[in-house]
Amino acid sequence: MFTMYGSIRVLLQVLWAQLLCGWVLGSELTFELPDNAKQCFYEDIIIGTKCTLEFQVVTGGHYDVDCRLEDPDGTVLYKEMKKQYDSFTFTAAKNGTYKFCFSNEFSTFTHKTVYFDFQVGEDPPLFPNENRVTALTQMESACVSIHEALKSVIDYQTHFRLREAQGRSRAEDLNTRVAFWSIGEAFILLVVSISQVVLLRSFFSDKKTTTTRVGS
C-alpha cells in the first residue's frame, strides 16, 4: 500500500512538472505580420536568468523577417536581417523589461506568418529534493527519464508542425501558380486557334474574289 501511494505521488509530481514547464518557461506564439509592419513583444526578466529566443517564418514571401532584441536600456543584444529562422541564447545582465521585435517593413505586398518561442529560465526540478546527495530511487530515475523524453517529443512535434505548415504553404502557392499558368496557356491556345481560323478564311475569301474578277 505504501509502495502504491509512493508511485502515485511520483506520477503526480511528473504531471505537475509538465504543467510548470508550460507556465514558467516563457512564451510561444504564432502570429500574422502584415507587409510594411513591425510587431514587438515584451518580457520582464530577472538578472542572471538564462533565456533563449527561437523563431521561424512559416509562410509568406521568401520566408524571411528582421529580428531585433534589446535590453531594458535599449542596448541591442541581437539583430539579424531577412532571416528565415534562428536561435539566440543570452543571460540577462539587468533587471527589467526586455523587448524583441519582428519587422516586415522591407516587404511591400506580402505578409508573413511568424512563430517564436521565448524561453525564460531553466526547467524547474522534477522533484523538490532532486539535487540531494543520495541517489534517486528507481521510480524517480524512470520519471526523470520520461520527463526528458517528453520534452524532446514536444520539441520534435513543434518542429514537424512548422515544417508541415511551411510545406503546405509552398504546395498551395505552387498549386496557385500552376492553375494560373494553365489558364494562361488555355487562353493563348484559344487566341491562336481563333487567329488561325480567321487567317485561313481570309485566304479562301481572297481566292474567291480573284476568281470572280477573272470571269468578268
What gap in Å lies between CA 162 and CA 165, rounded to an integer? 5
Tell me the average pLDDT of the chain.
79
What gap in Å lies between CA 121 and CA 54, rounded to an integer? 14
Taking a C-beta distance cutoff of 8 angstroms, is the pair 99, 27 a contact?
no
What are the pLDDT digits (tens) for 133-179?
Answer: 566 677 777 777 787 788 788 778 878 887 887 788 788 888 888 99
pLDDT surpassing 90 at residue 41: yes
Higher pLDDT, 211 or 126: 126
What gap in Å lies between CA 147 and CA 158, rounded to an integer? 17
At residue 116, φ and ψ (nearest 5 deg) are -140, 155
Higher pLDDT, 55 or 216: 55
Taking a C-beta distance cutoff of 8 angstroms, is the pair 44, 100 a contact?
no
pTM metric for this prediction: 0.64
Alpha helices in the chain (DSSP H): 2-24, 138-215
Higher pLDDT, 64 or 146: 64
Q: Exposed, middle or buried, 55 (CB in 10 Å: 0-12/13-18/19+)?
A: buried
What are the pLDDT digits (tens) for 159-172?
Answer: 888 788 778 878 88
What gap in Å lies between CA 89 and CA 6, rounded to an integer? 38
Residue with cell 546527495: 133
pLDDT surpassing 80 at residue 4: no
- What is the average per-residue pLDDT within 13-20? 46
Higher pLDDT, 37 or 20: 37
The residues near 29 (Cβ < 8 Å, ≥ 6 apart) are: 41, 115, 116
Angle at 111 between CA 110 and CA 117, to 5 degrees: 140
Rank 10-14, 66-70, 126-130, 152-156 by mean pLDDT and report only the highest. Answer: 66-70
In this prediction, residue 10 carries a pLDDT of: 43
CATH number belonging to the domain at 26-122, selected among 3.30.360.10, 3.40.30.10, 3.90.1150.10, 2.60.120.680: 2.60.120.680
